[in-house]
Structure 1
Amino acid sequence: LFLLTNSRSLNEEQTTELHQNLGEILKEFQEDVIIISRSDSSLRGHFPQETNTLRKTLEIPEAPILFIPFCAASGCLTLNDTHYIVEGDHATPIHLTRFAKDNAFPFSHSYLPDYLAEKSQDPLDIQSLSLRDLRSGNVTSKLDELPDGSTCIVNATSLKDLNVLSLALLKSNRRFIIRSAASFVQSLAGIPSRPPLEPWQLQDLEINPNGGLIIIGSDTPKANDQLNHLLKNTSALTAIKLSAPDIIHSTFNLKSTISDVQTAMVSGQNVVLFTSLRGLDEEDDLTITQSISKALIKIVQGIKERPSFLVAEGAITSFVIATDALGVQQAQVLGQVIPGVPVWAIGNETLHPGLAYVVFPNNIGGAEALTLVVEKFGASI
């Protein structure tokens, strides 16, 4: 069972309350489930607050927390307790990247013991599973020997390292709480790697002459590179730029924007909606994000015609568009449209039942990644 919480869009008080409520619900099932707090491979989020709250609410203070930020799709790996992001042939310590300068979740260390000390309000008993530990066998005994209540950094440079850990966890009789990026979920669930979906597998339920809708909620260097590549290399595309200052200061024309999107879409044009944060004074980042999200929700809700597909880029954006705009309560994961980018068929309870909905993380792929996604849907028509 995968529960989406969108906790990165919440403040500390809200995420504590959320995880207390989740812990109370999970108490009834905790003997039968493995609890994974899915997080961002680039170390952003309320950690260790969320896992500590779950551990306290579940009344299992002795359970070690396994910290596993490795993610193959985003190029994030952990070696000698230091976390890196790999682009091409170059590995950069994560604290030297733009992710460390996140307004809501900044950090200043790639060496994970120092990162944990920076993020925790209380002293932590920090342990480590090295690559040598994982590759020398007897991993279950090493897990069983972890001190009660400790936080253990798991080093990994490939999915095979996680597969070893997963097998050891399943053999252990001990309770753990796991904080991991996406790759560990695949490993523990035994989901084999599959090639990306073919265009014919992305076709809408019925012939749909309308264009698709692409929503970019992020204003990051990678998201901007992907947007610029899309604008330069895609035909039959209408770009609509939303002014974040106008949204924040309530001078945003909602009806006009909805009309522009719908007019372009029914003419067969794909429409890309994006925002710019330039021109804003220093304000709370989460407040800005929430205001933009609310505007995007209203736009999607106001579009009466069915797009041929919908792409939402950014973790918070993809969550709120799915749940608040489209009304998704459940969805079937069809596969990946390109590596690291999943596509859902959304449920019958939604605004557009069966629509192909792409959840595009903003730390995946090169400049051409978004263009490749849109092109694949074009080839499916």
Structure 2
Amino acid sequence: MINSKEARNAQEVLASIPSVDTKLVQQMLKDELRDLNKKIIVLDDDPTGVQTVHGISVYTDWSLESIEMGFKEDNTMFFLLTNSRGFTAAETEQAHIEIAENIVKVANKVNKDFIVISRGDSTLRGHYPLETEVLKNTVEQNSNVQYDGEVILPFFKEGGRFTIDNIHYVQYDEQLIPAGETEFAKDRTFGYKKSHLGEWVEEKTEGKYTAENTTYISLTSLRELNVEGITNQLLQVKNFDKVVVNAVDYVDVEIFVIALVKAMKAGKQFMFRSAAALTKVIGGVSDKSLLTREELIKEETNHGGLILVGSHVKKTTEQLEVLKTNESIEFIEFDCHLVLEANKFQQEIDRVIETTESLIKEGKTVTVYTRRERLDLGEGKKEEELKLSVQISDAVTSIVQRLSIRPNFIIAKGGITSSDIGTRGLEVKRATVAGQIKPGIPVWLTGEESKFPGIAYVIFPGNVGAVTTLKETVDMLNR
């Protein structure tokens, strides 16, 4: 529990917000989306952004070939996995220039308009504003598109992230804690202080965009179904100023998207920095019940499963401790701090891989977890720490790369970990999102080109779920 003077009781706050006719809203949304006729491209800074969708393709590179395949799909939307949360600022900039240039080239070739959504973390971490500024500038330089504004929408119900009175909250048990007071705001690479999203924008852009010039879409106007008023607000946005959307439920996003599409049809162009809720709504993705074991494990083996835990957020460590109560699972701690001593680090990697392979072959499910203390090089060493974390992630990825037998399933815990394992460990070029095994926890079914075609690959975000959720997921797959 976090002690905060600004904390609010979640139940009381959410109960105080007026209800709205959800069926009416959903019909209005369906009508508005019907003739939008733009391809939606979601750039995902780690693989967890597909945590609200199903039946959608994820491409793990941004080549012209992959982007063209995405444009030519029947689906309205596709994802490009950038994994940029694990990049340096320079690498992020270069990647986003390439992505934007390739999107424009393909859009011109197939003669199709597009929307770009930069899907970032619902707890506000990531390369912001760098990513969306580079996308904006590159698209504008290479096309006739001129962006009027940027929509900021970090609401993510499944993870307990709500925006109320322009303040972004993270739910801890029964409390809503302002995001700026959480462990996420203290992130060594992507930290921040402000919880009010207009002030957060001002902080992150170093005053280039101000809280005063930000447009705020209030819960009051959303719940009053004031679509015309919200549309008019959007029509006034210019100079790439920001639009902050308050939301506590999907219906708020749905009402906003109705107004947004009206504004876009009137000629307005927006860039988006959002969590995963917006993609589901604007992509017109239907609800789907949680996945069953039968849907996920099509090819039974006599082998155990593999769980890889890389994330160091507090929730992951708590979930790992609960998982350890399952006595049928073998646990291997990987001493990642040996990264500072090359020979010892290689010996440690070899030890972990050989032990893991042997146990899985015997039919035992194995959890490999990185040492829980963060590697701290001291002040002013953010880039060096990021580079070492990449080496550690490479080592964890090599466990999958060097496996000679197919596990029954694979679970990766943490965004950077799951991205590297998916792209380099499993060699996935295109995956299909099967759906969610638990709320906010997506599953890829890997493509034919991958190391283990059709394997259920569970992408478990570091900061999602209750303390028991990891164990419940493993228990379901492991029976």
Same fold per TM (> 0.5)?
yes
Equivalent position of 1:214 in the other structure: 307
Query: Are 2:6 and 1:6 equivalent residues in the alignment?
Result: no
Which residue of 2 is the match for residue 239 of structure 1?
331
- Displacement of 1:98: 0.5
Match of 1:154? 245
CA distance in 1, matches of 2:147, 2:387: 37
Closer/same/farther in 2, CA of residues 248 and 325 from structure 1, 3 Å limit: farther
> Residue 447 of structure 2 corresponds to which residue in structure 1?
347
Instruction: Confirm whether residue 34 of structure 1 aligns to residue 115 of structure 2.
Output: yes
TM-score (norm 2): 0.76
1:195 counterpart residue number:
289
Matches within 5 A, 1:40-55: 40-55=121-136
Counterpart residue number, 1:83: 168
| Distance in structure 1 (CA, Å) of the matches to 2:350 and 2:168 | 46
CA distance in 1, matches of 2:374, 2:80: 36
CA contact (8 A) 1:103 1:285 kept: no
CA displacement, residues 293-341 of structure 1 (integer Å, 9 cap, x when unaligned): 1101212111111000000011111000000111001111111111110
- Specify which of 189, 192, 213 is matched with residue 104 of structure 1: 189
Give the conservation status (yes or no) of the 8 Å contact 2:216–2:243.
yes
How many angstroms does 1:277 deviate by? 5.1
CA contact (8 A) 1:333 1:345 kept: yes
- 1:71 aligned to 2:167? no
Contact 1:245 1:277 in 2 (8 A): no
Quote the residue 2:217 is aligned against.
Answer: 129
Tell me how far apart the structure 2 counterparts of residues 297 and 77 of structure 1 sit (CA, whole Å): 33
Which of 400, 415, 423 in structure 2 is aligned with 1:315?
A: 415
Aligned CA RMSD, in angstroms, stands at 1.6
Question: Are the aligned partners of 1:67 and 1:178 in contact in 2 as well (CA < 8 Å)?
Answer: yes
Deviation per CA, 1:242-299, whole angstroms, max 9, x where unpaired? 1111134221223322110011111111100111153844153312320111101212
Q: What residue number does 1:264 align with?
A: 359
Q: What runs of 5+ residues in structure 2 fail to find an aligned partner? A: 1-77
The alignment-based identity, stated in percent, is: 33
Q: Quick one: structure 1 residues 183 and 62, their matched pair in 2 at CA, closer, same or farther if it must change by over 3 Å?
A: closer
* Aligned residue among 82, 94, 101 for 1:24: 101
Counterpart among 396, 400, 421 of residue 300 in structure 1: 400
Are the aligned partners of 2:339 and 2:388 in contact in 1 as well (CA < 8 Å)?
no
What SS does the corresponding residue of 1:354 show, helix, strand or coil? coil
Q: 5+ residue gaps in structure 1?
A: none
TM-score (norm 1): 0.95
**Closer, same or farther in 2 for the Cα pair 1:278/1:363, shift >3 Å?**
closer
Change in Cα spacing, 1:294 to 1:359, as seen in structure 2 (3 Å) is same
Q: C-alpha separation between the residues in 2 aligned to 1:73 and 1:280?
A: 30
Shift of 1:170: 2.3
Sort the Cα spacing of 1:178 and 1:279 in 2 relative to 1 into closer, same or farther, 3 A. closer
AA paired with 1:82?
Answer: I
Residue by residue over 1:165-199, the C-alpha shift from the partner in whole angstroms, topping out at 9 and shown as x without a partner, is 12222223221111100111111112222221122
Whether the 8 Å CA contact 2:336–2:370 is kept in 1: the answer is yes
Partner-residue secondary structure (3-state), 1:73: helix
Structure 1 partner of 2:278: 184
Hey, what's the Cα distance between the residues in 2 that align with 1:112 and 1:332? 33
**Aligned pair 1:142/2:233, yes or no?**
yes
Which AA in structure 1 matches 2:454? G
Query: What does residue 255 of structure 1 align with?
Result: 350
- Whether contact under 8 Å (2:215, 2:233) holds in the other structure is no
For the 8 Å contact 2:335–2:370, the answer to whether it is kept is: yes
Q: CA deviation at 1:131?
A: 1.2
Contact 2:152–2:272 under 8 Å retained in 1? yes
CA contact (8 A) 1:315 1:361 kept: yes
Cα distance in structure 2, aligned partners of 1:196 and 1:12? 37
